Structure 1
Amino acid sequence: MALTSPVKEHPYSHLIDTLKDGRSKFFNPQKLNDPRYDQLPLSIRVLLEAAIRNCDGFYTKEEDVQNILDWKQQQNRAEVPFSPARVLLQDFTGIPAMVDLAAMRDAVAKHGVDPSLVNPKCPTDLIVDHSLQIDYSKWRGSQCGGQRGSCSKAACSDSPATSGRPAASVQQIENTPLLCPFHLQPVSETETALKSQEMELIRNKERLQFFKWCSKAFKNVNMVPPDIGAVHQMNLEYLSRVVQVTDGFIYPDSVVGTDSHTTMINGLGILGWGVGGIESEAVMLGQPVSLTLPEVVGCKLVGSINPLTTSIDIVLGITKHLRQAGIAGRFVEFYGPGVSQLSAPDRTTIANMCPEYNATVSFFPVDQVTLKHFKKTNFTEEKLELLESYMKAVKLFRIYEDPSEDPQYSEVIEINLSSIVPYVSGPKRPQDRVAVGFKGFHISKEKQDAQIPFLHCGQEYQLSHGSVVIAAVISCTNNCNPSAVEAGLVVKPYIRTSLAPGSGMVTHYLNTSGVLPYFSQLGFEVIGYGCATCVGNTAPLPEAVVDAIKQGDLVACGVLSGNRHFEGRLCDCVRANYLASPPLVVAYALAGTVGIDFEKEPLGLTSEGKEVYLCDIWPTREEVQQTEEDTVISSIFKDLRVRMEKGNTLWNNIECPDSVVFPWDPKSTYIRSPSFFSKLSIEVPPPQSIESAHVLLFLGNKVTTDHISPAGSIARVSAAAKYLLSKRLTPREFNSYGARRGNDAVMTRGTFASIKLQNRFIGKPGPKTLHIPSGQTMDVFEAADRYQRDGIPLIILAGKDYGSGNSRDWGVRAVIAESFEKLHKKQLVGMGILPLQFLPGENADSLELSGKERFTITLPDSLSPRQQLTVQITGPLLRPIISV
């Protein structure tokens, strides 16, 4: 970031130094001549450098610099600012920020200010990647004359016998004819990806037109078009800098993003983490992020890695250790001789899962492995020399084998890499690590062997508890890839398989290495570049499969190489979902069940009847690394840069308004100007006490942001569906909640719309609640709307870990919980929602709360962290609750 005042006025101008090239200036913390600097964790040194460089006496003060330098004493006590070098947005969480900026232009124009002055001050990258859906796969149906009743197949959904039912295996899209599941024809991989891309652009045209307008109207906004790559992969391959150079000053690259898995970039020695929409907008407009100076846990890696262990196996093992250690809200910094064994993809995969053990970051300082990685990207020799020279000059470069370089940490956790073996995580939470072959579904003994037959494509199959119906190798974590499978095994055709690489570069090295044709043979063809299955954009399962699951009340399973697998996210009828490495995803798809002991049971039989075991096809770690070494070359990254800058024909042909302010379409159901700017005021109102509030929801533990704000499909009986139907949309045009985040009318109706929400008022899963005054059960939105019309404020009661998961929320006045996920808590504060925490050892049950009481929360004129407040409940006083 450029200096905010002349160098001579900067309080730390005496720290300015010059590299050996004689051109690059930088602030050198070593010139403080303070022995505490060498003891700081390297992640804290990044915070210190940013505070020194941005010390303007307003947002960042000299006191902040001294607090960071005194980290050993001030950790977990002092609040400090951090000004990241850039902001990263993905389209689902990024579109509300861009809608807000567009609405700000309207607001300032009404006050006589030039609207073109409203722009992000901090460089902002927005990657359009989250809306990709699996509309087409390798096998599609041929047209049965385009009319219902025209097919002669008795079981076809278009036959006279079943013409009242929807197509069984292929989703009807727009005005395309219904397709017959009995007339399957292979589709080329190129055609599959192209058709999925076309459907994405057709379905999301309004959103994409708005994004294109943003890319032209706003300064400091870089838009990555759809079908180029997934947000985190783009951040790694194209957007990462390690060091930035602005106005002749060099400084560490850093980033905050509207996605909790922004931490993936920590694997390249770049400090970054996920923030809420309010925080990201503040950073975009030039304000720093405020954080409590964190404790830093040193994770020491020792031992040798098992040759059959993949990156995801390592991260699941580390997740288990760190989750048990209780490191929520802290930084994790890796060190020790074991780190040198991890490739850059290994490190980024480990860092990607950081939110699942509730750390803020998982930082891998730059070393020779990092430099080797960037040598293969678009970094020139000159830039690599500059990078290495600078990082060594400010002591941000590590030699992991040298213990004399080890800084001091708040706590040290040692993990022996040799103890980690292949694992998966699930069935509902990433931190629940289970061994390969796990069979636990809590099914009663008499029902465990249930077998439900069904017909698919004219052939009979059977489903049971543990049957795999979704298998997806997807973007964020497919850095480690399986070797070719040549044993003649096949995947059952009813299993929804897909391959969504993180970028075209991944597809390139999969193809060059010879792996891609084998993927395709097994049904894992490239469907496009985006998050797809990971955010719930899974194609509907064949109707016969859904019927069999419901008939037997089966625990059907999904297996994916992503980072999210909350219950019901992949598909509402798939109750158990597992995260696994790509080789295991393929293995489970071949086996057709997660109830397999890979060591003792074969995956299947060859055409000659020979049994094939997992060990026969499993790639060794050396094979994977050698493949990466041979195929991931610098020319691939150059091709990626060209492709990103040129875009694609469909994106380039999209027309957008040529205007300073956005011409809102009142008929649009995707993009809507938020109403809160109509009440824009220069004065900041004081905190408002909450008088006699009702409880909207009475929740238990582990309420995730998927429960709070679903990202997947919009159920036909939901409040959001009723709104869209009132706008004359058909169910096939609903799209997803994530795709409609630019319309607050949809998202408020989508709040707590999860079919898996467990509300104690209701006693069964579903997006319903009790309207206490009337005693009626209704949709959560309808109840909230009725309370609002009656002028009654609302709160939420919850248990432990409220808001775990992503960084989104659309809230109420207050949430009272036993504990919060840190990122979500910050988002609540940013939204003006008060997060209150029960005193230690207390909760709603211990206080004998029914949830039907009235709550009054009296607030002082100012609030501070961990301040104790007293809450009055229908007369008697409750013991103090801590404000957090």
Structure 2
Amino acid sequence: MNTEFRKTLPGTRLDYFDTRAAVDAITPGAYDTLPYTARVLAENLVRRCDPATLNASLSQLIERKRDLDFPWFPARVVCHDILGQTALVDLAGLRDAIAQQGGDPAQVNPVVPTQLIVDHSLAVECGGYDPEAFEKNRAIEDRRNEDRFHFIEWTKKAFKNVDVIPPGNGIMHQINLEKMSPVIQVRDGVAFPDTCVGTDSHTPHVDSLGVIAIGVGGLEAESVMLGRASWMRLPEIVGVELTGKLQPGITATDMVLALTEFLRKQKVVGAWLEFYGEGAAALTLGDRATISNMAPEYGATAAMFYIDQQTIDYLKLTGREDQQVQLVEHYAKVNGLWADSLKGAQYERNLSFDLSSVVRNMAGPSNPHARVATSDLASKGIAGQWDEVPGQMPDGAVIIAAITSCTNTSNPRNVIAAGLLARNANKLGLTRKPWVKSSLAPGSKTVALYLDEAGLTDELEQLGFGVVAFACTTCNGMSGALDPVIQQEIIDRDLYATAVLSGNRNFDGRIHPYAKQAFLASPPLVVAYAIAGTIRFDIEKDVLGPDAQGNEIRLKDIWPTDEEIDAVVKASVKPEQFRQVYIPMFAIHEDTGPKVEPLYDWRPQSTYIRRPPYWEGALAGARPLKGMRPLAVLPDNITTDHLSPSNAIMLDSAAGEYLAKMGLPEVDFNSYATHRGDHLTAQRATFANPKLFNEMVIEDGKVKQGSLTRLEPEGQVMRMWEAIETYMDRKQPLIIIAGADYGQGSSRDWAAKGVRLAGVEAIAAEGFERIHRTNLVGMGVLPLEFMPGTNRKTLQIDGSETYDVIGERTPRATLTLVITRKNRERVEVPVTCRLDTAEEVSIYEAGGVLQRFAQDFLESATA
């Protein structure tokens, strides 16, 4: 720890690091020009780096040099149970590998505090119209996930620095926002800004508090857990000025969907954004959190807001201790992190967005940045005519209407607005359509308390929006089974069925296997669509129904006013509610149970938890990058849902057939996500999305949709998994060719693990999303980027070729991709090696993060 700049925080007994002095010692006056994010990164360096590294890295930060390696040291790791549990399965496997080579497995532990929240395991089998839905869904969750929860219980006792929040308590991001992040940490008498990485792309949720928190894959989280710096190229820090204010009746959801469209067009992928200006200053913390949460949807790595009075008010509202609230304000003002101190901040790029331009919005179909104003639904071909046939579902039937996701349920205004709209609808006699599976799944138990306080719980329940869970549900594809009669009608009539949810993702095939497309909307709009019953309904113009006097009721007649929403929020959301929920949740309980062995006793028949194979066979060997055949040739915007879906497993899928063979009843197949601790199940999810378009599979002159590929050199079209098995038997090295923005979406390490287990050694694409590229490196898969103007189409790639990679793999080096066509023609194509740092080169050459750590651990133990 650097002591030169260590001082005592005035008026306290705590020390802090004078970041301004450290920066200005290198370049006088530079601190005042640094953006907020750079100031926090600078403090992180001053606190953690030796003098030589400190001076070099601070100089890099001051000069904004983005072509050099840059270290930062997250203070903590937060995980949900899907990626977090998978990471701990990897660490348990690492213990086995260490033990087999004579090391002490008990020494393999996270050295950074790690919080695991079990929040992604519950499926909405019982909708919100069942008064016992919560209890029933929780019971099903426990039964289905017994293997997983047994392992998680072992990790609590076997690993140091791991704490677990059990199922049924909320979503990790909302808990992080409302409780876990102190904004300013105190350890060993030293105060410093909180920082964290999380195993979910929506970890930037707490950036709204002024906390640098970024989403990473499980592999990168494992590296941080094990004490390594998080190395990166210094990101572009973009200033986003928010001007104006929202018009009456416009929600934070409308705002973020408009911002998502705007920022995608501004190409902020990988950038760290800072929102400022009069518009930003006026936003509540809940509104800011909605913006920060959706950073991955517009492609940014971080979405920061400054610490200001809104931050302080929110910390008080959520029941933080007075002493902690005072520390946050005092530290921020002393160390240049208070909003008023940032007036001279200089950005490499400045954007401006007028909040007054936002109208009522939805997003869809298929992409969260595909914004459509509700007033334009008809002109966009979404709303339109449909036949009302008694006893039949209409075209565009909304089969799922879900108030879900941390994006919106962490914002009291959004939830209260939904409750008030439901109350107004009930008064006028409106009802939910019978084919709509409706649900309310808040990310925090406090939501239920303030809805009770406001008298809105019964109003929502009357329309079918009772609480079904405190967990990530529909947004994560855990929407549960449909009524069999409804499902059969969809199949028999080949019905265009849809979902409307207050989530952040609506990728094809994600929300439900029988929802052909999904739309994102604010919580009150979700309730309105449950009443309308079809996406063909023009939500601004069409009649929702008659009142008792026969008067036509439209959306404007039941939409609550801003004044009414604000009054209910002020009267009903209280600090004691947050204390009531979180004090017992985070109370320290001494573990008096029996000790556990340092090595996990793997259950051989488990389809959830299995010893990982990453230190065995071909995975532990070299990757020659020669004679590779394409597994897939893919278009732009391939998401991690295409690469490794998270939704329900169907019987006729490769994973479903495997689970049935293992004796699991179809009713308990669960989701792909929950089985990621067992590689034998999870690898069968590779490219299993039925909405995949692999350009190697052509039928009648068009790319055929489905989990399909063409086996080469035979040229035979078959299901993706059968081809993977064939290639694995042949020990055939593989490559994937893709378009732009490859790997959008969730921070899903299995999107990289699956292709690596299939034998993929390299991926050549026009561009990569940050987290997925890092995951590929962490699994020892080489990311290659085509030069501008070169792509699969200009190269006339059809999948019949073989590929070699030539050149020395150094950070961002130019390598040669050698393409040998079926007619023996040879083409040499320059590509950029997307190993971006020396650390990434080291990880790749070792075979991946886990192999690298095992090598280093054994070397240090021998030394």
Check whether TM > 0.5: yes
Report if the CA contact (8 A) 2:806-2:815 is conserved.
Answer: no
Once the two structures are superposed, residues 663-682 of structure 1 have per-residue CA deviations (whole angstroms, 9 ceiling, x without a partner) of 1111111110112235799x
Match of 2:651 in 1: 716
User: How far 1:520 moved relative to its partner?
Assistant: 0.3
Match of 2:254 in 1: 313
User: How far 1:61 moved relative to its partner?
Assistant: 4.9
Change (3 A) 1:37 1:296: same
Match of 2:842 in 1: none
Matching residue's letter, 2:118: V
Match of 1:468 in 2: 398
Partner Cα separation in structure 2 for residue 584 and residue 444 of structure 1 = 15
Once the two structures are superposed, residues 308-336 of structure 1 have per-residue CA deviations (whole angstroms, 9 ceiling, x without a partner) of 11111111111122111111111110110
Match of 2:91 in 1: 101
Report if the CA contact (8 A) 1:475-1:529 is conserved.
Answer: no
Gaps of 5+ in 1: 4-9, 140-186, 454-459
Match of 1:828 in 2: 776
Report if the CA contact (8 A) 2:398-2:499 is conserved.
Answer: yes
Change (3 A) 1:377 1:779: same
Partner Cα separation in structure 2 for residue 444 and residue 285 of structure 1 = 49
Secondary structure in 2 matching 1:386: helix
Partner Cα separation in structure 1 for residue 395 and residue 379 of structure 2 = 8
Name the stretch that deviates more: 332-341 or 377-386.
Answer: 377-386
Change (3 A) 1:602 1:656: farther
User: How far 1:627 moved relative to its partner?
Assistant: 2.4
Matches within 5 A, 1:769-808: 769-808=709-748
Secondary structure in 1 matching 2:289: helix
Report if the CA contact (8 A) 1:308-1:621 is conserved.
Answer: yes
Partner Cα separation in structure 1 for residue 551 and residue 385 of structure 2 = 26
The number of residues matched between the two structures is 802
Match of 2:455 in 1: 514
Report if the CA contact (8 A) 1:225-1:644 is conserved.
Answer: no
User: How far 1:866 moved relative to its partner?
Assistant: 4.8
Matches within 5 A, 1:832-851: 832-851=780-799
Report if the CA contact (8 A) 2:385-2:536 is conserved.
Answer: no
Partner Cα separation in structure 1 for residue 771 and residue 382 of structure 2 = 38
Report if the CA contact (8 A) 2:814-2:830 is conserved.
Answer: no
Report if the CA contact (8 A) 1:439-1:466 is conserved.
Answer: no
User: How far 1:724 moved relative to its partner?
Assistant: 1.5
Match of 1:45 in 2: 39
Partner Cα separation in structure 1 for residue 97 and residue 566 of structure 2 = 54
Match of 2:846 in 1: none
User: How far 1:879 moved relative to its partner?
Assistant: 2.6
Partner Cα separation in structure 2 for residue 465 and residue 248 of structure 1 = 63
Secondary structure in 1 matching 2:627: strand
User: How far 1:589 moved relative to its partner?
Assistant: 1.2
Partner Cα separation in structure 2 for residue 866 and residue 507 of structure 1 = 54
Matching residue's letter, 2:148: R
Once the two structures are superposed, residues 438-463 of structure 1 have per-residue CA deviations (whole angstroms, 9 ceiling, x without a partner) of 54699899xx756485xxxxxx4333
Once the two structures are superposed, residues 652-692 of structure 1 have per-residue CA deviations (whole angstroms, 9 ceiling, x without a partner) of 99x998322211111111110112235799xx98x743111
Report if the CA contact (8 A) 2:433-2:531 is conserved.
Answer: yes
User: How far 1:733 moved relative to its partner?
Assistant: 2.3
Once the two structures are superposed, residues 474-495 of structure 1 have per-residue CA deviations (whole angstroms, 9 ceiling, x without a partner) of 1312221221333221001210
Match of 1:355 in 2: 296
Matching residue's letter, 2:743: G
Secondary structure in 2 matching 1:527: coil
User: How far 1:384 moved relative to its partner?
Assistant: 1.5
Report if the CA contact (8 A) 2:374-2:540 is conserved.
Answer: no
Partner Cα separation in structure 1 for residue 160 and residue 187 of structure 2 = 16
> RMSD of the alignment, in Å?
2.4
Larger relative helix fraction? 2
User: How far 1:55 moved relative to its partner?
Assistant: 0.2
User: How far 1:380 moved relative to its partner?
Assistant: 1.9
Report if the CA contact (8 A) 1:829-1:835 is conserved.
Answer: yes
Match of 1:242 in 2: 183
Change (3 A) 1:547 1:657: farther
Match of 1:863 in 2: 810
User: How far 1:877 moved relative to its partner?
Assistant: 2.5
Match of 2:362 in 1: 424
Partner Cα separation in structure 1 for residue 90 and residue 225 of structure 2 = 12
Report if the CA contact (8 A) 1:299-1:413 is conserved.
Answer: yes
Name the stretch that deviates more: 118-127 or 535-544.
Answer: 535-544
Partner Cα separation in structure 2 for residue 36 and residue 334 of structure 1 = 21
Name the stretch that deviates more: 623-632 or 354-363.
Answer: 623-632
Match of 1:877 in 2: 827
Name the stretch that deviates more: 482-491 or 88-97.
Answer: 482-491
1:707 paired with 2:655, answer: no
1:30 paired with 2:23, answer: no
Secondary structure in 2 matching 1:291: strand
Matches within 5 A, 1:411-810: 411-439=349-377, 451=387, 453=389, 460-476=390-406, 477-478=408-409, 479=411, 480-481=414-415, 482=417, 483=420, 484-485=423-424, 486-645=427-586, 658-678=596-616, 688-762=623-697, 763-808=703-748, 809=751, 810=753
Partner Cα separation in structure 2 for residue 656 and residue 554 of structure 1 = 55
User: How far 1:289 moved relative to its partner?
Assistant: 1.3
Report if the CA contact (8 A) 1:309-1:421 is conserved.
Answer: yes
Match of 1:63 in 2: 56
Q: Decide which of 162, 166, 173 is 1:221's aligned counterpart.
A: 162
Once the two structures are superposed, residues 20-46 of structure 1 have per-residue CA deviations (whole angstroms, 9 ceiling, x without a partner) of 234111111112333111111101111
1:137 paired with 2:127, answer: yes
Partner Cα separation in structure 1 for residue 562 and residue 659 of structure 2 = 50
Secondary structure in 1 matching 2:828: coil
Report if the CA contact (8 A) 1:261-1:355 is conserved.
Answer: yes
Report if the CA contact (8 A) 1:228-1:504 is conserved.
Answer: yes
Q: Which TM-score applies when normalising by structure 2? A: 0.89
Gaps of 5+ in 2: 698-702, 835-863
Match of 2:148 in 1: 207
Matching residue's letter, 2:744: S
Matching residue's letter, 1:516: T
User: How far 1:761 moved relative to its partner?
Assistant: 2.1
Partner Cα separation in structure 1 for residue 663 and residue 303 of structure 2 = 47
Name the stretch that deviates more: 91-100 or 480-489.
Answer: 480-489
Report if the CA contact (8 A) 2:74-2:197 is conserved.
Answer: yes
Matching residue's letter, 2:60: N
Secondary structure in 2 matching 1:813: strand
Name the stretch that deviates more: 484-493 or 703-712.
Answer: 484-493
Secondary structure in 1 matching 2:336: coil
